[in-house]
Structure formats: structure tokens, C-alpha cells
Amino acid sequence: MEPCDTVVRCIEPAPERKRGTPWKTFLNAHWNVLAAIDFLNVEVLTFHGVIRFYVLFAIRLETREVKIVGITDQPCEIWMKQMARNLTDPFDGFLRGVRYLIMDRDPLFTICFRNMLKNRGTNPVRLPSRSPNLNAFAERFVLSIKSECLNKIIPLGEKHLRLAIKEYMAHYHTERNHQGLDSRIIRAEESVGRSEGAVKARSRLGGFLNYYYRAAA
């Protein structure tokens, strides 16, 4: 039995957590095989009124890469099962090589969903109720996408919402500096660090997201 197995099975409430492996120790020991999953909610204006959409995403803790797993206004167990299949696809699933997946106690993370992950080699790590600090990386992504993008626009239908999220994710991975990565860009382009050439700007979503770079001389 590995020393962190008790942590994986159940994260104890804060007053009792010191009796076992500390949460920070668990994270440090499994940093490169850890990911987290969560939902963010977005109110979308449609012809049928305002509808709440649920955006399921996963984030790799070591690299901060994020995958938008799915977007729906009617999440259900059948939909969640398909999301589990997509995440654990043996060829291009986002959870390839991920050993532990941190999640809260949202009812949508059902026993069936968790078992599907476990059967594909990814162990679900369920957090205690009302403990967002233990899923800080996922919570930080929610804050980023909302403050930098979704809170600045009014999504007009599902198609508009998907376009906005797609544009933000391109910005997030290839244009945005990340303080937790020593201000590096996750997937930096060749122009990053270039000291010569005209300065150009790339704008997304009508100028809400901007990226400045030097063009090749």
C-alpha cells in the first residue's frame, strides 16, 4: 500500500487531516500525474429566456493545461458517462497518464462516473464538502475565465458561448502569461522572446483579449 492511499480514498476534514498524509505532501508526491475536474456555470441569453449552461473542464496541475470537456444546459448521468469516455480515450483522452483526478462532491460526479475513470486507471479523489481551497487550481481557472472573458460579455445563445470559450482557451494556452509557471506561456509561439521586428497586436472577442508580439523581421 502506498503512503498516500488513505488520502486518495477520502480527504479528511481540516481538523483531522493532520493525522494522515498532509494534503500538500500528497500534491508534491504526485504532481506530474495529478489533474482536477470541475464545473463552471454561465447564464446565456436565448430566445427562450436566460438559460444556465454547465461547462465541464479538467486541468493538469503541473502544466496548467485545461481541457473543456463538454458544454450543456442539461447535464445528466448519460452525458457524464460520455464525458468520462472522452476523458479516458486511450489515444487522445486528456487524462492519459493522469493517475489521480481531484473533484468535489457535486452530485453529477456519480458513482458510475467515478468507476468509469477508475477502470481506465485514473483514481478519483473526492474532497470534503465546502473545501474550495483544496481544489485551488480549478477554482483559479474559473476566476480567470470569468473575470477576463465571460463576465465581460453577454453570451447570445449556445453558439456564441462556445465561440467565446474557444477564443479564450486559445488565448489561455498560447498568449497568456501564467504567474504560477514563472510568467511563462503554456504553449509559447516562436515569436515569444523575439527582440527585433515590428510590434503587432492580436485581438480576440472584439478587443477584450489582446496579445502583443514581434513579427518576424
- pLDDT for 13 equals 54
Instruction: Count how many domains the chain has.
Output: 1
Backbone angle region of 129, left / alpha / beta, with phi > 0 → left and psi within -120 to 50 → alpha: beta
- pLDDT for 57 equals 98
Question: Can you tell me the distance from the alpha carbon of 94 to that of 187, in angstroms, rounded to the nearest whole number?
Answer: 16
Contact criterion met (CB below 8 Å) for 185 and 177: yes
Is 215 domain-assigned?
A: no
- pLDDT for 6 equals 42
Contact criterion met (CB below 8 Å) for 123 and 22: no
Question: Can you tell me the distance from the alpha carbon of 146 to that of 57, in angstroms, rounded to the nearest whole number?
Answer: 14
Is 42 domain-assigned?
A: yes
Is 208 domain-assigned?
A: no
Residue type, 102: I
Is 136 domain-assigned?
A: yes
Here the CATH number for the domain that contains residue 50 is 3.30.420.10
Is 210 domain-assigned?
A: no
Is 201 domain-assigned?
A: no
Its domain, for residue 67, covers 5-190
Is 70 domain-assigned?
A: yes
Is 138 domain-assigned?
A: yes
- Mean pLDDT per block of 10 residues along the chain (217 residues) reads 44 56 82 95 96 98 97 97 97 95 96 97 92 90 97 96 97 94 90 81 91 81
